[in-house]
Amino acid sequence: MNGFLLAAAVASLIVFLAHLFWGGYEVAKPLLNAPDIQEVPKLTAYYCWHIATILLFVMTCAYAYVALLQPDIPLTVAVTSIAGACVLLNIGLIAVRKLKPLDYPQWAFFIPITVFGVLGLFSS
C-alpha cells in the first residue's frame, strides 16, 4: 500500500464531496436560476460542472486503485498531471483576470492532491 497515494485518494474524495454538495449549492443552483444568461451558455457551463464532478470521482477511484490494489505509474502520472493542471489553470485565471484568490479557491483543493500524488510517485 502506498500511503501518499491513499492520501491523494482521500483528498480527492473530500474535494469530490465538497464539489458535489457545496459547489452544487453555491455554483450550479445559482447558475441555473440566473435569468440573464442565455440557455446555451448556461447549460454548457452546467454540463462542465458535471464533467468536473465525474473527473473528481474518477480521480478518487484511480488514486484508491493505485494505492490499495495495483501500483500503476502511468495512471498515477496521468491523474497527478490532471490535478496539477487544475492548479495551474486556476492560478492562471486568477492572475490573468486579477481575481481574488480566496474567491476562487480551487487551487487550494487541488494542491494537496497534486503533492500527495507526486510524493506517492517518488515513494514507490
For the chain, percent of residues with pLDDT exceeding 70: 99
For the chain, percent of residues with pLDDT exceeding 90: 85
The string of pLDDT tens digits covering residues 58-81 is 999 999 999 999 999 999 999 999
The string of pLDDT tens digits covering residues 77-97 is 999 999 999 999 999 999 999
The total number of structural domains in the chain stands at 1
CA distance 87 to 121: 18
Instruction: Judge contact between 25 and 69, C-beta under 8 A.
Output: no
Question: How far does the chain reach from its first CA to its final CA, in angstroms?
Answer: 9
* pLDDT the model gives residue 27: 84
Give residue 24's domain range. Answer: 3-122
